[in-house]
């Protein structure tokens, strides 16, 4: 039996989980007060603080880390990497500590995992990093030579949902073609073929979401940027944080929006349906990448629990392929199952190099 500790740092919390093979022993969210985090100038500076919180929790719950088989962390914002598992090594630690692509709490996962495993002589992994970029060359062309399209999406949950769907339909994942939509605070989509995400719609070039504006008309966006004394900080907040449902309806909660609709709010209904409409358009857009030859369309993420939203999407896209709904973020389970496949020899972990 393999005992695997999974670590997933967020902006104000660190989620940890312990699994014995596929069995969940516990999942715990360790909250970090803003007054604690505000002491640190950079995210990387939070390393000792967050590591100590994790270790303290394990000690208080009488868990002996010597019993672990491996530790796996959410993959941070490295330079572009491939999907699957990477063994955490000194090179990766150096990059995430001293020159990450962007500052992000997920960068701490590999650092904490490595620190725990080093004295134990067991492996530390990351799995399906946010920075996975397997776009085919034609997909990287943006239309503006100065801008190369990147892949920064909800890789972990998307691939886990696709792997689970392949198993459900009795096919090897690498033999399947899927279009996957992650529906959460941000919405992103991918088309997967041959075990790779060959094209994507990131949360700034696809559908709007509860708090993000998604793709908006460029010309009108440019006009807005240079009007009303708007500055860069203001515009970023309009795109990420105050966009989408928040911008139109003043809330990021899909549950609240559905209550508004139930109470007869026609504007709420129009905006919520527009979000479903845009997700459906994105699915149709990515289906053309594989010429409509799609084994399944997968809807996942926290808002996939909404039968109203997924119903609207499904009725627009089920002509393309069967629709599978796998609600929830499923990140801790996805991390663990990825590491478990490596430990069992079903996948190989890559060695990280610059």
| pLDDT in the model for residue 37 | 85
Dihedral pair phi/psi, residue 133, rounded to 5°: -135, 105
Residue count (the chain): 354
| pLDDT in the model for residue 86 | 97
**CA–CA separation, 271 and 349 (whole Å):** 43
| pLDDT in the model for residue 25 | 94
Tokens 């075990």, residue located: 195
Top CATH class, 137-321? alpha beta
Task: Give the count of beta carbons closer than 10 Å to the beta carbon of residue 300.
Answer: 26
Q: Mind listing the pLDDT tens digit for each residue in 236-270?
A: 999 998 999 999 999 999 999 999 999 999 999 99
**At 174, which helix (H) or strand (E)?**
none
Task: Give the count of beta carbons closer than 10 Å to the beta carbon of residue 232.
Answer: 8
Fold of 3-132+332-351: Nucleotidyltransferase; domain 5 (3.30.420)
Check: CB of residue 165 under 8 Å from CB of residue 229. no
Check: CB of residue 28 under 8 Å from CB of residue 17. yes
Report the number of secondary-structure helices (H) and strands (E) in the chain. 12, 12
pLDDT beneath 50: ranges in the chain: none
Retrieve residue 85's tokens. Answer: 């598992």
Average of per-residue pLDDT values in the chain: 94
Q: Mind listing the pLDDT tens digit for each residue in 83-121?
A: 999 999 999 999 999 998 888 889 999 999 999 999 999
For the chain, residues classed under CATH 3.30.420.40 are 3-132+332-351, 137-321
| pLDDT in the model for residue 38 | 84
**Which of 173, 135, 187, 180 shows the shortest CA–CA distance to 296?**
180
| pLDDT in the model for residue 189 | 97
């Amino acid at each position: 039996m393999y005992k695997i500790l999974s670590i997933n740092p967020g902006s104000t919390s660190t989620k940890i989980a312990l699994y014995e093979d596929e069995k969940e022993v516990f999942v715990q969210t360790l909250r970090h007060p803003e007054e604690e985090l505000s002491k640190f100038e950079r995210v990387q500076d939070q390393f000792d603080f967050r590591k100590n919180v994790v270790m303290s929790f394990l000690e208080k719950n009488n868990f002996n880390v010597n019993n672990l088989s491996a530790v796996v962390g959410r993959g941070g914002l490295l330079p572009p990497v491939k999907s699957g598992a990477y063994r955490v090594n000194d090179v990766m630690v150096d990059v995430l500590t001293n020159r990450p692509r962007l500052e992000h709490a997920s960068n701490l996962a590999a650092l904490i995992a490595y620190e725990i495993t080093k004295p134990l002589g067991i492996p530390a992994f990351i799995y399906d990093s946010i920075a996975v970029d397997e776009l085919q060359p034609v997909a990287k062309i943006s239309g503006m030579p100065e801008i190369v399209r990147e892949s920064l999406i909800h890789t972990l949950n998307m691939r886990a949902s696709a792997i689970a769907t392949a198993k459900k339909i009795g096919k090897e994942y690498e033999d399947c073609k899927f279009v996957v939509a992650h529906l959460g605070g941000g919405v992103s989509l991918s088309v997967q073929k041959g075990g790779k995400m060959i094209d994507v719609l990131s949360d700034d070039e696809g559908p709007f979401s509860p708090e993000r504006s998604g793709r908006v008309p460029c010309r009108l966006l440019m006009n807005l940027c240079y009007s009303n004394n708007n500055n860069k900080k203001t515009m970023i907040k309009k795109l990420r944080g105050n966009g989408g449902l928040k911008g139109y309806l003043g809330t990021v909660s899909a549950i609240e929006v559905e209550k508004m609709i139930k109470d007869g709010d026609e504007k709420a209904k129009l905006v919520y349906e527009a979000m479903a409409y845009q997700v459906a358009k994105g699915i149709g857009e990515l289906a053309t990448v594989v010429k409509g030859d799609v084994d399944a369309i997968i809807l996942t993420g926290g808002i996939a629990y909404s039968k109203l939203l997924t119903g609207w999407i499904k009725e627009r896209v089920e002509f393309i392929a069967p629709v599978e709904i796998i609600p929830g973020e499923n990140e801790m389970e996805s991390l663990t199952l990825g590491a478990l496949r490596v430990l069992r020899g079903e996948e190989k972990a890559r060695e990280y190099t610059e």
